[in-house]
């Protein structure tokens, strides 16, 4: 019998922590999980799930606008944000109950309270000290607060998800996932939205053709874009809040959303005191490919490691940790090929290398692309287009990356990711029969390379 209270103590009951804890328990480990907030973590409580519910709600604006083209008469609709938020809150509460039940059914002990690491095997939570052979840090991340004068006047995505009154004018600072998604959502609700970001285009790091088309589509949907906008000051004025950029430009709004990145939740955990190597600039825990920290008995998974801040990645890292430490099957997650979706409007799906990254990596590339107006938009008179791009290694025909923007891109990329993860070639796509009429069929009908 072990001298420790548990075999594993996990700090953080989000997606990665819950997955790791349940999987370790399946392997026979005695597991406890600590949580100082709601069970479910960022994704379930204040991230992916509530955000997508709001996205669905905002898309009804398109449905109402397009309906007459299909023969429907629509009474002028009205929108009640408070009613939506109430429904969202009930769904999140339901999901949290399910997460708690999963832990209980999986024989994982829930210790409620903020936890702090005391030594390599001990955690203090709620005034009680408990020990384990291994500790796992899975505390996720939270909105970052850059040193911008007056930034306290802005809200983060956490508060935005709880609004019950719609701002007439919303300024969104940032050009990443959260910024473009909420800009699209609140534009759909009827707010006048300005998206201000430092780069020339939103979604830095994504394929350039996708970024360009997203900017065009957002502008056509009524979002005002302010590229090259580096905020230096926020202040209250008679008309609301004024944001001033480094170059002197100003934007006034009733509400400002700060979507200027996220930071790993490592403050106050006592990690440095016990020797865990933490990046002093980013706050991320440095780990090996197997998620082990500089202290052999302490591991970390998910956003707190800042490897790839995506829920499925955290879950995969958590399960790999459990298999490695408790299942006798050492393995690590391969972060080189990760499919992802951005629920902008229109949505984006992507996997693999962008065109510029493929060229920079030394590949000779052939590019296939399709740019078309989806059938759904024809009778409605909507001008929005879809675009699909497949990047192929010209030497061995292997698909290096695929990038989509348009309706249902998030759903399409999941299926395509299976093939690309298996090492699909362009010939494999070519011999796949199309499903007609769909937008996704364009991916297997690309025959002529782009002429550069």
Residues tagged in the binding site annotation: 52, 174-181, 261, 303
Which one is catalytic: 23, 27, 107, 436? 436
Cβ atoms of 355 and 367 within 8 Å: the answer is yes
Measured in degrees and rounded to the nearest 5, phi and psi for residue 58 equal -70, -30
Say if residues 36 and 142 touch (Cβ distance below 8 Å): no
Query: What is the topology classification, in CATH, of domain 346-444?
Result: Enolase-like; domain 1 (3.30.390)
Binding residues for NAD(+): 174-181, 261
Domain boundaries, the chain: 6-143+263-325, 151-260, 346-444
Q: What's the CA gap between 178 and 201, in Å, rounded? A: 15
Q: What's the order of all strands across the beta sheet hosting 192-196?
A: 224-226, 192-196, 169-173, 255-258
Alpha-carbon gap, residue 452 to 449, rounded angstroms: 9
In CATH, what class is 151-260? alpha beta
CA 131 – CA 58 distance, rounded (Å): 47
Q: Catalytic: 436?
A: yes
- Please state at what angle helix 311-325 crosses helix 15-26, rounded to 10 degrees: 30
Contact 68, 150 (CB under 8 A): no
Kind and range of the H or E run holding 255: strand 255-258
pLDDT by position in tens, the chain (length 452): 579 999 999 999 999 999 999 999 999 999 999 999 999 999 999 999 999 999 999 999 999 999 999 999 999 999 999 999 999 999 999 999 999 999 999 999 999 999 999 999 999 998 999 999 999 999 999 999 999 999 999 999 999 999 999 999 999 999 999 999 999 999 999 999 999 999 999 999 999 999 999 999 999 999 999 999 999 999 999 989 999 999 999 999 999 999 999 999 999 999 999 999 999 999 999 999 999 999 999 999 999 999 999 999 999 999 999 999 999 999 999 999 999 999 999 999 999 999 999 999 999 999 999 999 999 999 999 999 999 999 999 999 999 999 999 999 999 999 999 999 999 999 999 999 999 999 999 999 999 999 87
> Do the domains 346-444 and 6-143+263-325 match in fold?
no
pLDDT at 1: 52
CATH number of 6-143+263-325: 3.50.50.60
C-alpha torsion angle, residues 196, 199, 204, 206 (rounded to 10)? 100
Q: What is the pLDDT of residue 239?
A: 84
Report how far residue 272's alpha carbon sits from residue 154's, in angstroms, rounded to the nearest whole number.
31
What are the binding residues for FAD? 52, 303
The partner residues of 110 in beta bridges, in order of sequence, read 33
Residue whose structure tokens are 């935005």: 160
d(CA 256, CA 143): 14
pLDDT of 421 reads 96
Taking alpha carbons only, the member of 141, 144, 139, 142 closest to residue 115 is 139
Give dist(CA 340, CA 103) in Å, integer.
27
């Amino acid at each position: 019998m072990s001298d420790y209270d548990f075999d594993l103590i996990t700090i953080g009951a989000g997606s990665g922590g819950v997955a790791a804890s349940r999987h370790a328990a399946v392997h026979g480990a005695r597991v406890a999980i600590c949580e100082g907030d709601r069970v479910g973590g960022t994704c379930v409580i204040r991230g992916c799930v509530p955000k997508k519910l709001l996205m669905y709600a905002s898309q009804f604006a398109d449905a109402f606008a397009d309906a007459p083209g299909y023969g429907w008469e629509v009474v002028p609709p009205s929108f009640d944000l408070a009613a939506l938020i109430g429904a969202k809150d009930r769904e999140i509460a339901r999901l949290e109950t399910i997460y708690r039940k999963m832990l209980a059914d999986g024989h994982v002990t829930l210790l409620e309270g903020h936890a702090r690491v005391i030594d390599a095997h001990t955690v203090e939570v709620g005034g009680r000290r408990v020990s384990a052979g291994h500790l796992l840090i899975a505390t996720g991340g939270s909105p970052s607060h850059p040193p911008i004068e007056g930034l306290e006047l802005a809200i983060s995505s956490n508060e935005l998800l709880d609004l019950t009154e719609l701002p007439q004018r919303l300024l969104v600072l940032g050009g990443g996932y959260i910024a473009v998604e909420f800009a699209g959502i609140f534009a759909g609700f009827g707010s006048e939205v300005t998206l201000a970001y430092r780069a020339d285009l939103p979604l830095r790091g994504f394929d350039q053709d996708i970024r360009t088309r997203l900017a065009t589509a957002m502008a056509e949907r009524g979002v005002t874009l302010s590229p090259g906008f580096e905020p230096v000051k926020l202040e209250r004025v008679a008309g609301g809040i004024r944001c001033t950029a480094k170059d002197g430009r100003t934007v006034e709004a009733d509400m400002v959303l700060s979507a200027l990145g996220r930071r790993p939740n490592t403050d106050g955990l006592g990690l440095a005191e016990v020797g865990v190597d933490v990046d002093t600039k980013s706050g991320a825990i440095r780990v090996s490919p197997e998620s082990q920290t500089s202290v052999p008995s302490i591991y970390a998974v998910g956003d707190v490691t800042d490897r790839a801040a995506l829920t499925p990645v955290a879950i995969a890292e958590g399960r790999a940790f459990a298999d490695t430490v408790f299942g006798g099957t050492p393995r690590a997650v391969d972060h080189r090929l990760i499919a992802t979706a951005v629920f902008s409007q229109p949505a984006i799906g992507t996997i693999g290398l962008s065109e510029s990254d493929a060229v920079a990596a030394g590949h000779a590339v052939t590019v296939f692309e399709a740019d078309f107006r989806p059938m759904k938009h024809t009778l409605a008179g909507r001008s929005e287009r879809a675009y699909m791009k497949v990047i192929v290694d010209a030497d061995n025909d292997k698909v290096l990356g695929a990038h989509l923007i348009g309706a249902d891109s998030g759903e399409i990329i999941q299926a395509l990711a299976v093939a690309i993860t298996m090492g699909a070639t362009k010939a494999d796509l070519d011999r796949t029969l199309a499903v007609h009429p769909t937008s996704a069929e364009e991916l297997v009908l690309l025959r002529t390379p782009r002429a550069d």
